[in-house]
Structure 1
Amino acid sequence: MTNKGYTEGLAELREVRDEIKPLTRQLAKLQAELAKLEAQRDRKIVELGAFEKAKADRLATSAGVSVIDVVALVPALGPQGPASAPAEPAPARSAAEAPAEPQTAAQSINEVAGAPTPDLPAATQPAVGEQAPSTDAAENHDQEQELAAPAEPSAPSMPAPASAASVPGEEQKRTLPSIPEGPAGDGWFRAEQGLASKRPNFKQATRQMAFLDTGSGVLVWQGGAVTLELGRASVAEILTAVYATVPAAVERIYVTAGDPWHQNAGGHQFLKDAVAEWLNGPLPEGWQVESSRGKDRQAGHLVHPRNPVGRWQRGADQHTEIRSAGEWFDPEGADPATVRAAFVELWKALHRHWDDVVLMGSPSQTGRDLWSRTIPAKAGAKWADGYPVMSQEIRGLLHATAGQGRTELIVPPRVAERVPGWFEADRTFAYAKHTWSSGVGVPRRVTASAFAAMSEKEQSNALFSPSHWQVRVTIPKGWEHVGLLPAPAPGERAWHYPYEGGRTFVTWAGGAEVNVALRNPLQPWRIEILDGLVWEKGDPLKDWSAKLKDAWRSLRALAEFHGDEQQRQAARLASRAVRSILLYGIGTFAQRPRITTGSVVLGAGGEVPEIPDGARLTGLTDTHATWERNAGFARDPYAHPEWAAGVWSAARAALLDGPTSSKDPQSGKPLRAGALHLPAGAILAFRTDAVYSSVRPEWPYGGEPGDFLLKGAMPWEQPTPTSDEEFYVLQRLGRQAVEAEGL
């Protein structure tokens, strides 16, 4: 640029400045007027909300705001107890549930002093959930993108909170439940009568599938491929065009690209409202929302913001679902033919281990069905009569006290405002690492007094068993690293990780995490046992997981060596589907309270008709109101939250410290990795199975489940992210840098 060009550019810049100034003044005036009107509206909402017959939905419709906004202004109009978010997309409408069993009220733990844990030696045995070094042969695993973990569960209203000691002056805003004293609490330790996980004696029905890109109109199914004219890709247009082409026997339509349910997202404050509007749009003549169900067919719609499920029927015999392929994997721009090929390769890889495999609607359904077909069936075999389901009280306790993946963003002043680099280390196929051993049967209770009466060896054995402990934790003075144990944070389902030296708090944690706190490579924490659940060791997930790992390995090899690019891509996608089957299959064992959703058509003048008892409104459009209801715990024969909790705890512990598949050439022992093997102040974030740091982790990667893979790297100065938005920008850039530069 010349001096003349620069001078002319400055003149142009001043002209733009002069045009902006009056517009800025106008905008400020409009914003002031808008703020005044909004304040007037809010005052009116509060005034009308005081009326004894006031309803949030009516006020929201009249004010032009969401129900959530109304409830924020008039909390009395909100639900008395928040509905819990399911870990997996729950059925849109559930079948009638058995009446909930009466539950004994939980009690505080004030009166019981904790029993200190023994001083444990250096690790000579694997922590709970870790694979013994000699158990598995080496497996070839490549990079795998970590799926987002489901939202943390909220605590049920059943148990009373435990008391917690904390730093003076600090308010404990959410506490966790405890087990009642004496016989009342001991009564929780039982199996549900007549409820056990047994091997099924039937084969799932096969559903024919079609794959549709709603952007391009390309439709692919077993009979061929065509390009459809879909208009705006409404439900009516899709059903009409697809079933003018494919036979009625096609019962699942997977949308591979286009996300038609988001087409009107700009007109709504929340994505779920846009999805509900799309699902509830007009239907072709003869079609209606699904109203019947079979063994693996659910009725009604699932209003999920990104992966919704719509279910419809025509007459009595034709049924169909429109689902997102994103439930299984990110298609990454693959065309429908490639996505269909991925499902074919997935079925072939699974069929080598399960002769009766059927791909169901979602990976979670498929995972649980495949697991059920690994339950021992031979007469006389242990657990051939089924794995018992624990009492509703214990399931509720685990639901309230066993979190999922660790999600934490560490911001200044804990870390510097600018850091020398950005590195993402992600654990490959992490959950598969922690399925070799799980608790089975009814747990035994270990109270503080019972733990104190044990010998040191018995205490150590209990801590290394599959277990879940209520503990009083004291962080050593001078501690400078990240927190090790989850604790309840303010909010209904939040967890945080206290790290301040000298702080004391009460929480629940799995045996794997308790062991890391006691045996970490930096400085042991003080742990007092207040109560605990200890299970018999078993391997209910091992066979299932081993078969899935083998299928994943074979698909990764196919993705690397196949001569056809489309088949390589299909195999890569299929390998990710296997990972989803294991990840979300584990999530189904948690069996949280079921959330049912539905929608009703608005009456004349926008009036909301009756919704089911106990339901709360979650969204309003011009034509429909959407609701959801907490249906409580079902009598589910596959409810094993102890298995999900054990895997989650072990995975969180391994983020901090765990063995790799590589051996130390000097000692022959596995080399260890995790956040505690990086400098204090270098950790920037945790996301489920990934550690983000400002220094490059020099951890060996052997391709085994649980090994840390360098997934993102920018070895130059970066501003420290202080929000999720800034974090995800750096995450994306770091991954792009690795892909482009091979850093």
Structure 2
Amino acid sequence: MDNKDYSAGLGELRAVRDELKPLERELTQLQAKVAKLRDRRAEKIRELGRYAKATSDRIATAAGLGVIDIVALVPSLAPQAAPGAPAAPSVTGTATVDQQAVQEPAEPIKEMAAPPKPDEPQTVEPSGTVARLGAAPLDGTSRLEVLAETEQADVAPAPAAAGVGEGERVLPSIPAGAEGDAWFRAEPDLASKRPNFKQDARGMAFLDTATGVLVWQGGTVRLDLGRASVAEILTAVYAQAPATIERIYITAGDPWHKGAERHEFLKDAVAAWLNAGPPEGWTVEASRGKDRQAGHLVHPRNPVGRWQRGDQHTEIRSIGEWFDPEGADPATVRAAFVELWKALRPHFDDVVLMGSPSQTGRDLWSRTIPTKPGAKWADGFPVMSQEIRGLLHATAGQGRTELIAPPRVPERVPGWYEVDRTFAYAKHTWASGVGVPRRVTAATFAAMTQKEQTNALFAPSHWQVRVTIPKDWNHVGLLPAPAPGERAWHYPYEGGRSFTTWAGGAEINLALRNPIAPWRIEILDGLLWESGDPLKSWSTKLRDAWQSLRATAEIHGDEKQKQACRLASRAVRAILLYGIGTFAQRPRITTGSLELGAGGEVPDLPDGARLTGISDTHVTWERNQGFARDQYAHPEWAAGVWSAARAALLSVNTSSKDPQTGKPMKAGALHLPAGSILAFRTDAIYTAAPVDWEYGGEPGDYLLKGRMAWEQPAPRTDADFYVLQELGRQAYESEGM
């Protein structure tokens, strides 16, 4: 470039500036107008929500929002107002979200929910009697002291300071009387039954978009992918691989994140990549089979794109759904899938690896449903009413994710230790609730004998409770409570604080019998199931496959095969973890995209849809379609496992024995010093105190995964946390070299 070119370039830059400035002013004005209209819409929604016969689905359609958005603004409409049937079929390009419990941190979202107004109710509690559970003995016995058997219903609700904090969600309650009792039923003609068909196996290929290396059963090639757009990937792959390849797993490169800096959220970048357009002759998949879903899944890190060309169908998926490949090349990743199938085959005769671990997990479980005539549940496991499923969706959280930052912990801590419960969920699948639950009101619970109360709390159950923390409490919180955000939870820990929440029996027992000081629990309402073992056979088979893969990885002489077996063992964990998540059956979220008008106008969205992103050519939207009539919907099972796993993070028996007493050794956050816990992540504890828990190799045992035995700054943000996590693992790995 010479001086003449430079001067000309400056002139072009000024022209762009002059063209851009008025557009930016218009955009600012438009954004201000949109903000005012959104405020008006929210106010109107709250006004309509006060009408006695208001329903969230009708308001959602009129507002152009999803049901979840309406419930966030008017909590009293959840969950009984959940839509009763799917909305009209969506246009081509929609996607049904895989029923998978995503355990990674959520992307940042813009909160729409506002704190309740002063004249609106701050708590939702049922009328009737209240059964209070007091101090349970710390020796592990089952005695429960009922401090006050009954209390009149006209007691004033707890003030906001003791119940719901500013901006927190208000959890729904079961309606009093006959209206609530009507929830306790099974859905007619809907039960989980063993399938009478075998899934079709799909051809797989594994592609590293950073290097261009493609591996499938027929060979290995290196492709020129250009910028790795959808069109370039499909064109390059099918110029080499046969049309029988129906799944392309991206092992590295994350092509959907290219250009992410131009978008506010990763999800917007992913949507833009998926909607950039396939090569000529290809369209977004619109058909649906026994194990095929139409359209794209827009996920910030593990998206799924689905396309078709005539009768040819293909998916582009992220290997991150199954495991972190940790730099493994595509050939090693393919070997991991081979080892995974070989490990599962002895336990599941008709195993087929499906697109995701959640789909695979649910399919494998369905093939363990009893069919022997006369066997209990041989006619299938009944699916609960939509109202109960909606209640569990709104009140049963997943794994505990919490960062405990200064001033709760010192600015600098003496060390960093990471311990993780390996294959933990398998530990909590031996007993689950089956059939239609029994309602246990406060009055019913108060009328029980102490033994009946104990049995109820140890049985599969889910309770609405008012909790009071001991005044001198100085450790982490024990029970989840609703926090701002659609599905956010936090763990109150302040001594003397009271709050109302829902929690599983495992957590209630932990709060009453923890090794430090019992919490005060008042039973407000509850669901109590018959105890069964619908998940036991399935999880036992997965545990055996997991253990065999781990053992092979330890002794194999070939380093690539060792790595393949390690990755395969993590895939088995994902099958269990996400398979359990599929039982939760969240409301179906469909997404889609529409082209902008010729002048850039935003087109009308389908009824009930909300705008989620906009690019130069398309808008993307999503719509909540409520709870489908899914024969495998069992949120009671997922809720029970999640509750037990959260309790085990705090205190649990290990497979090691105390040499003095012969009893199981205890482990968990409550067995570490107060003020030493830095974070929780699903099955892992991060602490500043040295951990010496013996690892026995059994599901649920704590394994040391990271260690830095020197002073560290306490993490203040998630970014700080992930840096320390990586450094801790690297330091611990280097110790063993």
Task: State the shift of 1:721 in Å.
Answer: 1.3
Q: Does 1:285 align with 2:280?
A: yes
Q: Does 1:114 align with 2:114?
A: no
Q: Does 1:598 align with 2:587?
A: no
Q: Percent identity?
A: 74
In the alignment, the residues of structure 1 paired with residue 407 and residue 395 of structure 2 have an alpha-carbon distance, to the nearest angstrom, of 30
**Secondary structure in 2 aligned to 1:661?**
strand
Q: Does 1:231 align with 2:230?
A: no
Query: What are the Cα deviations for residues 605-633 of structure 1, in whole angstroms up to 9, with x where unaligned?
Result: 22222321111111111111111110100
Query: What are the Cα deviations for residues 85-143 of structure 1, in whole angstroms up to 9, with x where unaligned?
Result: 9xxxxx95349xxxxxxxxxxx943533420226544565899xxxxxxxxxxxxxxxx
Q: Does 1:357 align with 2:367?
A: no
Q: Does 1:416 align with 2:410?
A: yes
Closer/same/farther in 2, CA of residues 605 and 703 from structure 1, 3 Å limit: same
Among 68, 72, 95, the residue aligned to 1:93: 95
TM-score (norm. length: structure 1): 0.82
Closer/same/farther in 2, CA of residues 168 and 405 from structure 1, 3 Å limit: closer
In the alignment, the residues of structure 2 paired with residue 190 and residue 408 of structure 1 have an alpha-carbon distance, to the nearest angstrom, of 36
In the alignment, the residues of structure 2 paired with residue 638 and residue 537 of structure 1 have an alpha-carbon distance, to the nearest angstrom, of 18
Structure 2 equivalent of residue 82 of structure 1: 69
Deviates more, 1:380-389 or 1:711-720: 711-720
Task: State the shift of 1:203 in Å.
Answer: 0.2
Structure 1 equivalent of residue 488 of structure 2: 494
In the alignment, the residues of structure 2 paired with residue 275 and residue 171 of structure 1 have an alpha-carbon distance, to the nearest angstrom, of 35
Q: Is the 8 A contact 2:126 2:173 kept in 1?
A: no
Number of corresponding residues? 640
Deviates more, 1:640-649 or 1:488-497: 488-497
Among 202, 206, 222, the residue aligned to 1:207: 202
Task: State the shift of 1:81 in Å.
Answer: 4.6
Q: Is the 8 A contact 2:163 2:500 kept in 1?
A: no
Amino acid of the residue matched to residue 270 of structure 2? V
Query: What are the Cα deviations for residues 421-474 of structure 1, in whole angstroms up to 9, with x where unaligned?
Result: 111111111111111111111110111011111100010000000100111111
Q: Does 1:184 align with 2:179?
A: yes
Amino acid of the residue matched to residue 222 of structure 1? Q
Amino acid of the residue matched to residue 719 of structure 2? E
Task: State the shift of 1:284 in Å.
Answer: 2.2
In the alignment, the residues of structure 2 paired with residue 78 and residue 198 of structure 1 have an alpha-carbon distance, to the nearest angstrom, of 35
Closer/same/farther in 2, CA of residues 655 and 515 from structure 1, 3 Å limit: same
In the alignment, the residues of structure 2 paired with residue 310 and residue 580 of structure 1 have an alpha-carbon distance, to the nearest angstrom, of 21
Q: Is the 8 A contact 2:126 2:176 kept in 1?
A: no
Q: Is the 8 A contact 1:363 1:584 kept in 2?
A: yes
Matches within 5 A, 1:165-176: 165=159, 167=161, 171-172=165-166, 173-176=168-171
Task: State the shift of 1:211 in Å.
Answer: 1.0
Amino acid of the residue matched to residue 261 of structure 1? W
Structure 2 equivalent of residue 402 of structure 1: 396
Matches within 5 A, 1:302-701: 302-315=297-310, 317-701=311-695
Task: State the shift of 1:600 in Å.
Answer: 1.4
Task: State the shift of 1:653 in Å.
Answer: 0.3
In the alignment, the residues of structure 1 paired with residue 39 and residue 685 of structure 2 have an alpha-carbon distance, to the nearest angstrom, of 51
Q: Is the 8 A contact 2:124 2:171 kept in 1?
A: no
Deviates more, 1:400-409 or 1:233-242: 233-242
TM-score (norm. length: structure 2): 0.83
**Secondary structure in 2 aligned to 1:628?**
strand
Structure 2 equivalent of residue 45 of structure 1: 31
**Secondary structure in 2 aligned to 1:604?**
coil
Structure 2 equivalent of residue 740 of structure 1: 734
Amino acid of the residue matched to residue 205 of structure 2? A
**Secondary structure in 2 aligned to 1:46?**
helix
Structure 2 equivalent of residue 148 of structure 1: none
Amino acid of the residue matched to residue 486 of structure 2? E
Amino acid of the residue matched to residue 248 of structure 1? A
Deviates more, 1:398-407 or 1:712-721: 712-721
Q: Is the 8 A contact 2:164 2:499 kept in 1?
A: no
In the alignment, the residues of structure 1 paired with residue 698 and residue 287 of structure 2 have an alpha-carbon distance, to the nearest angstrom, of 45
Task: State the shift of 1:269 in Å.
Answer: 2.0
Deviates more, 1:43-52 or 1:586-595: 43-52
Amino acid of the residue matched to residue 109 of structure 1? E
Query: What are the Cα deviations for residues 641-697 of structure 1, in whole angstroms up to 9, with x where unaligned?
Result: 000000000000001111011011121110001111111111111111111111112
Instruction: Spell out structure 1 runs of 4+ moving beyond 3 A.
Output: 34-45, 47-56, 76-81, 118-127, 162-173
In the alignment, the residues of structure 1 paired with residue 398 and residue 359 of structure 2 have an alpha-carbon distance, to the nearest angstrom, of 19
Amino acid of the residue matched to residue 198 of structure 2? K
Amino acid of the residue matched to residue 300 of structure 1? G
Query: What are the Cα deviations for residues 146-194 of structure 1, in whole angstroms up to 9, with x where unaligned?
Result: xxxxxxxxxxxxxxxx965554697453221111111111111110000
Query: What are the Cα deviations for residues 290-321 of structure 1, in whole angstroms up to 9, with x where unaligned?
Result: 11111111111111111111111111x11111
In the alignment, the residues of structure 2 paired with residue 374 and residue 475 of structure 1 have an alpha-carbon distance, to the nearest angstrom, of 43
Task: State the shift of 1:475 in Å.
Answer: 0.9
Q: Does 1:243 align with 2:232?
A: no
In the alignment, the residues of structure 2 paired with residue 229 and residue 262 of structure 1 have an alpha-carbon distance, to the nearest angstrom, of 19
In the alignment, the residues of structure 2 paired with residue 259 and residue 125 of structure 1 have an alpha-carbon distance, to the nearest angstrom, of 53
Q: Is the 8 A contact 1:166 1:504 kept in 2?
A: no
Gapped regions of structure 1 (runs ≥ 5): 1-33, 57-75, 86-90, 96-106, 128-161
Amino acid of the residue matched to residue 132 of structure 2? P
Closer/same/farther in 2, CA of residues 404 and 713 from structure 1, 3 Å limit: same
**Secondary structure in 2 aligned to 1:547?**
helix
In the alignment, the residues of structure 2 paired with residue 186 and residue 256 of structure 1 have an alpha-carbon distance, to the nearest angstrom, of 50
Closer/same/farther in 2, CA of residues 377 and 46 from structure 1, 3 Å limit: same
**Secondary structure in 1 aligned to 2:95?**
coil
Q: Is the 8 A contact 1:517 1:524 kept in 2?
A: yes
Closer/same/farther in 2, CA of residues 206 and 171 from structure 1, 3 Å limit: closer
Amino acid of the residue matched to residue 507 of structure 1? T
Task: State the shift of 1:48 in Å.
Answer: 6.7
Closer/same/farther in 2, CA of residues 623 and 675 from structure 1, 3 Å limit: same
Closer/same/farther in 2, CA of residues 233 and 673 from structure 1, 3 Å limit: same
Q: Is the 8 A contact 1:118 1:460 kept in 2?
A: no
Closer/same/farther in 2, CA of residues 488 and 313 from structure 1, 3 Å limit: same
Q: Is the 8 A contact 1:120 1:460 kept in 2?
A: no
In the alignment, the residues of structure 2 paired with residue 83 and residue 246 of structure 1 have an alpha-carbon distance, to the nearest angstrom, of 47
Closer/same/farther in 2, CA of residues 55 and 382 from structure 1, 3 Å limit: closer
Closer/same/farther in 2, CA of residues 164 and 582 from structure 1, 3 Å limit: farther
Task: State the shift of 1:390 in Å.
Answer: 0.4
Closer/same/farther in 2, CA of residues 275 and 44 from structure 1, 3 Å limit: closer
Structure 2 equivalent of residue 142 of structure 1: none
Among 267, 271, 274, the residue aligned to 2:269: 274
Structure 1 equivalent of residue 153 of structure 2: none
Gapped regions of structure 2 (runs ≥ 5): 1-19, 43-62, 73-92, 98-122, 144-155
Closer/same/farther in 2, CA of residues 36 and 237 from structure 1, 3 Å limit: closer
Amino acid of the residue matched to residue 205 of structure 1? D
Closer/same/farther in 2, CA of residues 35 and 503 from structure 1, 3 Å limit: farther
RMSD, aligned α-carbons = 2.8
Q: Is the 8 A contact 1:443 1:536 kept in 2?
A: yes
In the alignment, the residues of structure 2 paired with residue 202 and residue 39 of structure 1 have an alpha-carbon distance, to the nearest angstrom, of 60
